[in-house]
Every structure is written in structure tokens, then in C-alpha cells.
A = this chain, B = another copy of it.
Amino acid sequence: MSNSTPQEPQFDPQLLDSIKIVLCQTSHPGNIGAAARAMKTMGLKHLVLVKPKDYPSEEAMVRSSGALDVLENAQVVDTVEEALADCRLIIGTSSRNRALPWPLIEPREMGELIKEHVEARPVAIMFGRESTGLLNEELQLCHYHVNIPANPEYMSLNLASAVQLIAYEIRLASKMIAEIVRKDSQPVDAELGYDAQAESEHDKESEQLASFEEVDGLYNHLESTMNKTEFYNPEQPKLLPARIRRILAKARLNKGEVNILRGFLSSIDKYIKRHVK
């Protein structure tokens, strides 16, 4: 609390710029406009629309108020996979407890998570349909589910209001504390020789968090190899895809690790090819 006019606090533009708001199959164009407005009030820019029902639309423009630029720059795609392709942290909004428990955070924790994990950007935050939310398949692509606390007797949070709350928490998290100096800003060690430097560049690349596309590729490879080796999970066969996805989500694999695991899968494929007629 302050009795005098506080100085305008600074917000980390890189954090705000790293956020993609992904709206899946929105029915009402007015909600898209209102979501764009909600985003802009909190300094978010990147809107991705997956198969919107009725878009572009006059109503979206009207409801966006002064946030037409967010709408105009919105990316419209056909699949969730396209929307998430380059993202390194994927968070899905969910109001229900699903059959398969998933790492669950509150909006405030989400803000902290995004702030602390600079390496895990861009970040996608997915919002589902007005009526039914995100599908299970979509939720299983996420590293975390975020649950907005709400009145259990009336959880009918408007889509744009949900975007508003999430964007607000991101803005709060992006408030800069002067003392935070990032590790990346350290000078490169001048004593490293040429080869060592190249090696360390390689390590750096390999330690980078894998993108959604890379992890999704690993998942598909795994599934195909499992089919080849006739793997069948007797316990809960139907849940298998979701459980595999969850393991991958929890592991937060980096590029090098994805390469190792794909290499292992390839070794199985090749072994089978060589030995089995």
C-alpha cells in the first residue's frame, strides 16, 4: 500500500511476448473479440484460433473494442497440433477433474511457472469450447492443466472472462523486480577454445526444451514401435495413449533426450527389419 502515487511498475515484455492464447473451436465470434480485448488490456498479443466456428466476423471486431490489432494478427489454423507446434510449455484450462489425473496448477502458480522457466517458451495456453471445454485428447497434449477457482454451484465462467483472469495472472507474474538478472546474460567464457566452444554450443542446443512438434513426433514413433512389437497394456488398454502422453509431459524432455529416445526406437525398428523376414 502506498499513500503517494507509485511509479508505474515495469513488466517484462519478453515474458508477455512469449505467450500464445489458443482458443479451440470457439462458437461465438463475440467471445473471440472480447478475448482479444482482454488479452490486450494485459499486454498479450498472440492469439491463435483453432477452427473457429464463425470467423472472421463483424461481431468479433465490434467486441474487440480497441484491440483490433490482436484480431488482425490472429493466426487461424485447422488443428491443435499446428497451433502448438513451436511451443515448449503447454497449459490447458480445465474446470473438471478428468479420469486420468494430470499435473494441476492454479492460475497463480501458472504465472510463477512461466516466469521461472525462461527456457520453456513460447508458452501456449489453451481454452476450450464455450459449452464443453477442451477435449480429453487436447488436454493430454498439455504439460499442465490450470484450474480457475470458481463457485462449484455455478462454474459458468465466460470464455473471455477466463482469458481475462489468466492474462491478468500472467501480467502480474511479468512484473519486473530489478534484481532479477537472468543466467543467459552472463558473458561467454573467453577461455574456451574453438572445439570446446562448438561442443558446448551443441550441448546448449541439445539441452534446449523440445518443442511440441518434437515430442509429438516421439510419441507417434513410440506408438508405431509398440504396435510392431505387439505391446498391449492389459491393465487399462484404453488409457494407454493418455498415460504415455502424461509420462512425456512430466519428463519435460529436451532436444537431446528426444533424440536419444528416438534413436532407441529406431534401433528396435532396424533390428526387426534386419532379423525378421
Given contacts A97-B5, A101-B4, contact A235 B252 (CB under 8 A): no
Task: Name the B residues within 8 Å of A132 (CB-CB).
Answer: none
Which of the candidate stretches A21-29, A46-54, A264-272 sits at the interface with the other chain?
A264-272
Q: Does A243 sit at the interface, judged by CB under 8 A?
A: yes
If A38-B161, A247-B257, A276-B276 are given as contacts, then 19 extra A-B residue pairs at C-beta distance below 8 Å, sorted by A number, are A1-B109, A6-B104, A41-B155, A42-B150, A101-B207, A149-B171, A161-B161, A165-B168, A228-B271, A229-B267, A230-B267, A231-B268, A233-B260, A234-B263, A246-B257, A247-B251, A250-B250, A250-B253, A275-B276
0/1 string, A138-173, CB within 8 A of B gives 1: 000000100011111011111011001100100110
Q: Does A56 sit at the interface, judged by CB under 8 A?
A: no
Query: Are the C-beta atoms of B235 and A104 separated by less than 8 Å?
Result: no
Chain A positions near chain B (C-beta within 8 angstroms): 1-6, 8-9, 11, 34, 37-38, 40-43, 65-67, 97, 101-105, 108-109, 144, 148-152, 154-158, 160-161, 164-165, 168, 171-172, 175, 202, 206-207, 226, 228-236, 240, 243-244, 246-247, 250-253, 256-257, 259-261, 263-264, 267-268, 270-272, 275-276
Query: Are the C-beta atoms of B101 and A3 separated by less than 8 Å?
Result: yes
Task: Name the B residues within 8 Å of A233 (CB-CB).
Answer: 260, 263
Given contacts A37-B158, A161-B164, contact A43 B229 (CB under 8 A): no
Task: Name the B residues within 8 Å of A4 (CB-CB).
Answer: 101
Q: Which of B103, B171, B229, B252 contacts A1 (CB 8 A)?
A: B103
Query: Are the C-beta atoms of B264 and A226 separated by less than 8 Å?
Result: yes
